[in-house]
Structure 1
Amino acid sequence: MINKQHIIDRFIGYVTIDTESDPKSETTPSTAKQWDLANALAEELKSIGMSDVTIDDNAYIMATLPSNVDHDVPTIGFISHFDTSPDFTGANVKPQIVENYNGKDIVLNAAQDIVLSPDYFEDLLLYKGQTLITTDGTTLLGADDKAGICEIVSAMEYLIQHPEIKHGPIRVGFTPDEEIGRGAHKFDVEKFGADWAYTMDGSQIGELEYENFNAAGAVVTVKGKIVHPGYAKGKMVNSMYIATEFINSLPRMETPEHTEGYEGFFHLHNMNGAVEETVLEYIIRDHDKGHFEARKEMMQKLTNELNDQYGREVISVEIKDQYFNMKEKVEPVMHIVDIAEEAMKQLNIKPLIKPIRGGTDGSQLSYMGLPCPNIFAGGHNFHGRYEYVPVESMLKATEVICKIAELTAKKHQA
């Protein structure tokens, strides 16, 4: 059995190192402080007995656990990211351990009256009787994705210490800047050398995902004319009103707060306006490629209609694709999902196979030639003060990694 306290200590050691990424930075990693954990991880991988440990100039870490069988087995990989989201501070994380959770409210911070309650976060009730690690209410926790890193390192350590578990060659990879969409940008797939891999970056225990959104970003720019309001009749053009027309012309119920499952959306996430110019920033998401293309076309059509209405170009839209649904790349090799599903079932974990309503490094890596489904890491309520992770979920994820390695070797015996 994997030692519970060892997992707790390792995880806390990771999350107390600030690794927040910065979308405004042009460097890789985007923040110098990510090097603090990256360098420590490289040393830790060496200390547990991993081979070929490398860390490149951009802080991408790779290492190998050599095969301990004498027959050919495909090389599999496990990947996680060590940066945390800039959505909420990751500085001075003070984890709190709640043992034998009783299903009631958890006071994260009495002074600020911050409470983690199952009345709002119903998933908490799945973990009654378990050990939870929470924040102190003033920071995020960093289980996204330091839980995944903890599980991968712990699984490799366990396999090294238990050579009776037979496995083929395993590669591990840790990346910076996933939270700002750049985790796979400089990942050297050829150097990694795996036939396929798994990102340990999901949430609830049992999650197994090989579908994600197709994604694009759109910047809508509206041009107006400012003149003195006392003499504005027939002269002023208020860009904010035109922007409002654009916003209201998109399907109101096709927004994140009204959609679920396979339903796509338009999400206005930033707006900066004045009479002279208003800029709207959208993300466009849909699992279905045809619907995704239609959403982009709808935005362009609406732009054209408003320009026709005003008799000149008052509005423009720039749309850039961000990533695509990895289903297209994983379905031809569905056995890699089947192995993960079987591993969970053998460990008495109910697989929850569902689409990701977001993106993942695995999506980009799949299109770079490394098919890469996503497996649960255990955390909940990512990117904020209510983030928590059940220790038992991390233990199970660690066991899943070991079991996948074992099953892959068994399935490729002569």
Structure 2
Amino acid sequence: MTAPAHARTSADLIRAEEPVLAHNYHPLPVVVARAEGAWVEDVEGRRYLDMLAGYSALNFGHRHPALIQAAHDQLDRLTLTSRAFHNDRLAEFAERLAALTGLDMVLPMNTGAEAVESGIKVARKWAYDVKGVPDGQATIVVAADNFHGRTTTIVSFSTDESARAGFGPFTPGFKIVPYNDLAALEEAVDETTAAVLIEPIQGEAGVIIPDAGYLTGVRELTRRKGCLFIADEIQSGLGRTGRTLAVEHESVVPDVLLLGKALGGGIVPVSAVVARREVMGVLGPGEHGSTFGGNPLAAAVGTAVVELLETGEFQRRADELGLVLREGLEALRGHGVTGFRARGLWAGVDVDPALGTGREISERLMREGILVKDTHGSTIRLAPPLTVTADELRSALGTLEKVLGQAG
């Protein structure tokens, strides 16, 4: 008989996962039991500063009081109807999310990958019904080194072999061009192109920020060539970069916006496709759906998330604290850090490979009470909750300096 979970150590719980959980992740060896704000605590009571925030799913920190209250209140009333019926929370959620993003219509879903898949379907339907692309010939242009999810359709246009190998045959209809290359994009877009799908900042690739003018160029090109611009803001959106959306750094409004992660407040999975009316209007009853998409609990939490963003407080915090983050990383350049890319409270940090891999650096930071995650090679990601303080940021950067000094 196994011991109850509360009596088992971190090592016990990690060992217990091995024979019964699919090995599709390689988590750091920390077992989180409690959390609040920017801090988590493991089963032994050790505290860690969370500098990853669930890959931006926890933009508002762990257990933000307003979001927890919204969830509690809704749990006492109604959690699920399916979309077979209306519910009293969905209209407000859609109205406020559309207003926040400057677009017209909302398709609520659950996970980020679902939002991407749904956006692909909307774009293809628009291409056939509105643009007049012959049936079955619509294409979507994407960027190399993208990360949009891991469903079979999405990995069909990934350039990461670890996501693709062994999962074919792949879905046709995608063209891959280099990121941040308007000339290559211009050449790839033709009369069959339904949409250009890109991340305004590539997160999984290492927080890759395109040149100034790239997003503006994508917007101009897609308008001129008569196709849609789909912006995947699942990681970059909802305050992370110092704006509500990363595209706002160039005052760009896409035709279709993909949201997820932070939209659920770290409580429930909530995602959405938000689009212009003439684009989203191509969907009819029965053509797309989700039993849990737009459920009352998700709508209540999502509305509370939008309400937090409507004040502008979290966007300002990310912008202001982003200066602290960049200053701290700049001081480490040449002292174990070979380069970094940062916007708002989001950074990809390249560590000197001689000091260790990204995984090794992450494990050393974990032992010092700081949680981050590697991407590729010797790059680590920093994406703390937007509730983090300047002192906490400086402490984390000081710990990174200590770890890099020890490694050297």
Give the number of the structure whose alpha-carbon radius of gyration is greater: 1
More helix as a share of residues: 2
TM over 0.5: same fold?
Answer: no
Normalising by structure 2, report the TM-score: 0.25
